[in-house]
Amino acid sequence: MVHPVYADLPTTIFEVMSGLARETGAINLGQGFPEEPGPEALRRRAALESVDGYNQYPPMRGLPALRQAVADHYAAWQGLDLTAEEITITSGATEALAAAFLSLISPGDEVVLFQPLYDSYLPMVRRSGGVPRLARLDPPHFRITREMLEGLFTANTRVVVLNNPVNPAAVVFSDEELALLAEYCVRHDVIAICDEVWEQIVFDGCRFRSMMSVPGMRERTVKIGSAGKMFAMTGWKVGFLCAAPALTKALAGAHQFLTFTTAPNLQAAYAWGLANCADWFEAMPADLQRSRDRMAGALEAAGFRVLPASGSYFLLVDLAASGVSEDDRAFCLRAVKDHGVAAIPVSAFYEQDAPTSLIRLCFAKRDETLDAGVARLAAARAARS
């Protein structure tokens, strides 16, 4: 007998769509990964570390140099006062999330989450014994409101999970929304697990604010980051858990029996990168913003209705408003099988009451890929509108 959480768990939509794209040779605008290979200096550094560096088990909580570099980076970019002792290095944000859920949720604890939600959250919350309490953020702006929070938090609420910027909604929460959620966390003595992996990818002059910097939240926030997102190299799978010492002790306890540690050559390269790639952090969002605008412009010219996007490298398209009379899954399957372009149906990010006419497109691609991808989407639209 397998555990009930896994008995009927479908394969994640990202793998399904990438698998179909591999099979059919489609342009993959589905799973979020950049087409460019990432900063060359950093890749050379990792090669050097692999050849001349240390390749045995690094310390369980991560290389001291990387933990310090993460703390310094967040001090410079987000004004946080983290120490290296408050950082645990994980094998990607996915492992960081799992460690946070396993160590902070006890059976029966209520866990507040917002739909749309990243697809690892609910299975891991349930596997940890948590009871999900779901709120729903509505397109096109996906805002958090007081009415939504009232009644959602109870005496049994132990954890809230917040993804900001939001995948797939591509919105960044305002200071007011963060303060509102913080008010409920403090009032109900709740820990916030904050998945901030898209923190470095915000547009239009918007400044990202970590939940950890909101008054009252320093000691009750678990901040999760991903070097894969920061440096546009998703395959390296190095993540960070940042939290006050009492929480870090529990988080590290879970981490030590999930993966224990992560590749030392990559950790060393990222430590170097965080200290030496300030220009990358300026250039990357500006480049991505140009790609966002190129793709949005091409989509609109082709008759698609695009939702506003201020963070992450995703754009949402409203199929119904674009004249497509098909739901998101049917459209995405037809687009990848018949028209050579993969996208993600947004209903995959909801457990209940999913909108069924939104698709997510990744624009971290070369111009020619974006143009060809949009042309193929236009052909898929023309075939059914």
One of 162, 197, 222, 335 touching ligand PMP (CB under 6 A): 197
User: d(Cα 342, Cα 32) in Å, to the nearest integer?
Assistant: 11
Q: How far is the CB of 150 from ligand PMP (least distance, A)?
A: 26
DSSP state of 9: P
Reduced to 3 states (helix: H, G, I; strand: E, B; else coil), residue 361 is strand
Spell out where the chain has E strands: 27-28, 87-90, 110-115, 131-136, 157-163, 191-195, 221-226, 239-242, 305-306, 314-318, 341-342, 344-345, 358-362
One of 5, 9, 14, 123 touching ligand GLN (CB under 6 A): 14
Does 31 help bind ligand GLN (rule: CB under 6 A)? Answer: yes
Tokens standing for 5?
A: 């959480």
Q: Which of ligand GLN, ligand PMP, none does residue 195 bind to, with CB < 5 to 8 Å depending on kind?
A: ligand PMP
One of 27, 32, 70, 171 touching ligand GLN (CB under 6 A): 32
Q: How far is the CB of 113 from ligand PMP (least distance, A)?
A: 12
One of 195, 199, 327, 328 touching ligand PMP (CB under 6 A): 195
Does 350 help bind ligand GLN (rule: CB under 6 A)? Answer: no
Q: How far is the CB of 384 from ligand PMP (least distance, A)?
A: 29
Strands 110-115 and 131-136: parallel
Q: What is the DSSP string of 74-134?
A: HHHHH-----GGGEEEESHHHHHHHHHHHHH--TT-EEEEEES--TTHHHHHHHTT-EEEE
Residues 114-173 binding ligand PMP (CB under 6 A) are: 118, 163, 167
User: d(Cα 106, Cα 152) in Å, to the nearest integer?
Assistant: 19
Residues 138-167 binding ligand GLN (CB under 6 A) are: 167
Q: How far is the CB of 90 from ligand GLN (least distance, A)?
A: 14
Q: Which is nearer to ligand PMP, 193 or 324 (CB)?
A: 193
Q: Which is nearer to ligand PMP, 197 or 295 (CB)?
A: 197
